[in-house]
Amino acid sequence: MGTKSIREIVETACVTHLGNQGLTGVSIQPGLSLSVIDPPLIVASAETAGLIPELPQGLGNYSVSLQVMVFTQTDETDSQANHRARSEKVASAFADIAGLKAVFSSGGDATLYDVTFQSIQDSKGERAFGTTFLFELQCVLAP
């Protein structure tokens, strides 16, 4: 471990977990990816990380704010239905806390305690549908 940040660990685990959801034909990327990819695309970005105020500091406990953005081209066949189905798979993936905990455990860099849904926002651009989920993840770095 040692050289990875909590944000990188969270993004990697969440990208892996989303990749296990049967989202075929969809590129799933971490927030710090340099890849430029056309939709369909899902980006998991750890926007902020901070200490958990209720817990003693210095023990590696973090609260991480994670944005998961789903993008679908509007000119795709059945684009609205496909976008909604992809968004539902993302919501279901983060409701499966036991599955996400298992992915964190298999990585060996951190332990996930809990995931809390914060919000969801939809948008429509000229050529893409977008849905942004915001989750709060409570985790601790491995010793």
pLDDT digits (tens, 9 = 90+) for 13-65: 999 999 999 999 999 999 977 776 788 999 999 999 999 888 777 788 999 99
The confidence score (pLDDT) of residue 56 equals 75
How high does pLDDT run on average in the chain?
91
**Is the sign of the CA dihedral 29, 31, 34, 35 positive or negative?**
positive
- The whole-number average pLDDT for the span 102-114 is 95
Residue (of 75, 141, 81) closest to 107 by Cα position: 141
Between CA 110 and CA 9 the distance in angstroms is: 7
Residue identified by tokens 């795709």 is 76
pLDDT of residue 106: 95
- Delimit the domains of the chain by residue range: 6-141
User: Which residue type, as a one-letter code, is found at position 45?
Assistant: S
What would the mean pLDDT of 71-95 be, rounded to a whole number? 92
Average pLDDT over residues 67-82: 89
DSSP string, the chain: --S--HHHHHHHHHHHHHHTS--TT-EEEETT-----PSSEEEEEEEEEEE-TTS-TTS-EEEEEEEEEEEEETTSTTHHHHHHHHHHHHHHHHH-HHHHHHHHHHH-SEEEEEEEEEEEEEEE-SSEEEEEEEEEEEEEE--
**Is residue 89 over pLDDT 90?**
yes
For residues 68-75, average pLDDT? 92
Q: Which residue has the higher pLDDT, 142 or 17?
A: 17
**31-40 per-position pLDDT tens digit:** 977 776 788 9
Q: For position 3, what pLDDT does the model report?
A: 54
Cβ count within 10 A of residue 82: 17
Amino acid at 82: N
Tell me the pTM.
0.91
Determine the CATH number of domain 6-141. Answer: 3.30.2000.30
Q: What is the arithmetic mean of pLDDT over 8-14?
A: 96
Q: What is the chain's length?
A: 143
At residue 88 the predicted structure's pLDDT band, cuts being 50, 70 and 90, is very high
CB 51 within 8 A of CB 63: yes
